[in-house]
């Protein structure tokens, strides 16, 4: 069993010459695709090699016999061929023994890559993992995500203001694929040697400094009802969906709850950041907001967020009215709530 992550796998792959089967799996599809592409480039040296010696299958559309036949066939005018099976979890495998036999004694001219979002925990799947090289592509923590965005700009030689990274993440969300697409557009527009600040970022993306999810949750964290209502309604008017806003608010208030819990155990701010693998810039508003909420109020907010999500999906209430009531509840005086 040789298990890796997105950080240590590239170096291992560069030295790999005796591995014939790779499993790439995890929640973050962007990194899964990156790892698969990396394997392809490692064993297919040219475009002609790829044209002749690359086959891709999808689990829901293929059979095990088709895949095994492709693996057993020899490469054409090359030392290796690559067979990729995407959505492996959807592949119907009736004859598990035959597949395990291939895993134990693979065709040494074929590189087989099995890719899926979720790797099952059955005995069969464990037997596969025990015999191959696997790469787990997990979702990034907030701190890792911040560092990843900063690194993307760094390698493109674009000097980026720290606040701009937070602004970008809070507006785009934590989906790495969406973030990468936006970053590529920004890099292509600016070019190397340029600087990126919030004003330039706002012009390029269409997000404004005042009307964004980052400032919306900050105003809620400060219990500023007037500003919260103004930004929240503007977000909806600009095309943001409440179904996407609610989960981000849940994450924000959950972070506040965790910070309160750790502070009660006498953790310092730097210790909390280390424990949460978080960035100081990402958690700045969380630390500022934490003293403004009681433990009871936070638990009630979690319930209201869940209720709002249910109402959005099952009632005729408008997103605007649901959001308005959320703002009132979060920003209201606790003495009023208890009456």
User: Where do we find the tokens 């606790």?
Assistant: 334
Report pLDDT digits (tens) over 243-296. Answer: 989 998 999 999 999 999 999 999 888 888 888 876 676 788 899 999 999 999
Residue 212: which pLDDT band, with cuts at 50, 70 and 90? Answer: confident
Whether residue 235 is predicted with pLDDT greater than 70 in this model: the reply is yes
Q: What is the pLDDT of residue 210?
A: 66
Label residues 251-265 b or e (16+ Cβ within 10 Å = b): ebbebbbbbbebbee
Domains of the chain, first to last: 2-136 (3.40.50.300), 142-205 (1.10.8.60), 213-338 (1.20.272.10)
Mean pLDDT of 188-216: 81
Report pLDDT digits (tens) over 134-178. Answer: 999 988 888 889 999 999 999 999 999 988 898 888 777 778 888
Q: Are 261 and 328 in contact (CB under 8 A)?
A: no
Residue 329: which pLDDT band, with cuts at 50, 70 and 90? Answer: very high
* pTM of the shown model: 0.62
Long-range contacts of 94-101 (CB under 8 A, 24+ apart): 94/64, 95/64, 96/124, 98/64, 98/68, 99/64, 99/68, 100/124, 100/127, 100/128
Report pLDDT digits (tens) over 79-136. Answer: 899 999 999 999 998 889 999 999 999 999 999 999 999 899 899 999 999 999 999 9
Burial of 26 (0-12, 13-18, 19+ CB in 10 A): buried
Residue 67: which pLDDT band, with cuts at 50, 70 and 90? Answer: very high
Q: Which residues have CB under 8 Å from 332's CB, separation 6+?
A: 225
Whether residue 311 is predicted with pLDDT greater than 60 in this model: the reply is yes
Query: What is the average pLDDT score of the chain?
Result: 89
Q: What is the pLDDT of residue 206?
A: 67
Long-range contacts of 27-30 (CB under 8 A, 24+ apart): 27/117, 27/118, 27/137, 27/138, 27/139, 28/137, 28/138, 28/139, 28/140, 28/176, 29/117, 29/137, 29/177, 30/175, 30/176, 30/177, 30/180
């Amino acid at each position: 069993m040789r298990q890796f992550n997105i950080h240590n796998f590239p170096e291992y792959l560069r030295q790999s010459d005796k591995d014939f089967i790779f499993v790439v799996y995890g929640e973050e599809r962007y990194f899964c695709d990156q790892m698969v592409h990396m394997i392809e480039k490692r064993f297919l040296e040219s475009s002609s090699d790829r044209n002749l010696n690359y086959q891709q299958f999808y689990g829901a559309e293929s059979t095990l016999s088709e895949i095994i036949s492709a693996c057993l066939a020899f490469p054409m005018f090359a030392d290796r061929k690559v067979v990729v099976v995407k959505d492996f979890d959807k592949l119907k495998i009736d004859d598990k023994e035959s597949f395990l036999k291939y895993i134990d004694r693979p065709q040494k001219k074929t590189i087989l890559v099995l890719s899926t979002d979720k790797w099952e925990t059955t005995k069969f799947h464990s037997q596969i993992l025990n015999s191959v090289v696997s790469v787990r592509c997990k979702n990034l923590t907030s701190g890792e995500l911040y560092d990843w965005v900063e690194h993307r700009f760094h390698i493109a030689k674009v000097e980026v203001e720290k606040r701009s990274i937070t602004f970008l993440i809070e507006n785009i969300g934590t989906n790495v694929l969406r973030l990468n697409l936006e970053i590529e557009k920004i890099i292509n527009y600016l070019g190397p040697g340029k600087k990126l600040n919030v004003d330039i970022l706002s012009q390029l993306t269409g997000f404004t400094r005042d009307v964004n999810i980052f400032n919306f949750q900050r105003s809620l964290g400060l219990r500023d009802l007037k500003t919260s209502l103004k930004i929240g309604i503007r977000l909806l008017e600009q095309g943001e969906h409440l179904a996407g806003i609610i989960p981000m608010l849940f994450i924000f208030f959950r972070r506040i709850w965790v910070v309160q819990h750790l502070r009660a155990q006498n953790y310092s701010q730097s210790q909390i950041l280390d424990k949460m693998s978080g960035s100081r810039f990402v958690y700045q508003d969380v630390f500022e907001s934490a003293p403004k909420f009681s433990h009871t109020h936070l638990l009630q907010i979690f319930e209201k967020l869940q209720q709002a999500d249910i109402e959005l999906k099952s009632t005729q209430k408008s997103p605007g009215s649901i959001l308005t009531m959320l703002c009132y509840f979060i920003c209201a005086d606790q003495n009023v709530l208890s009456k």
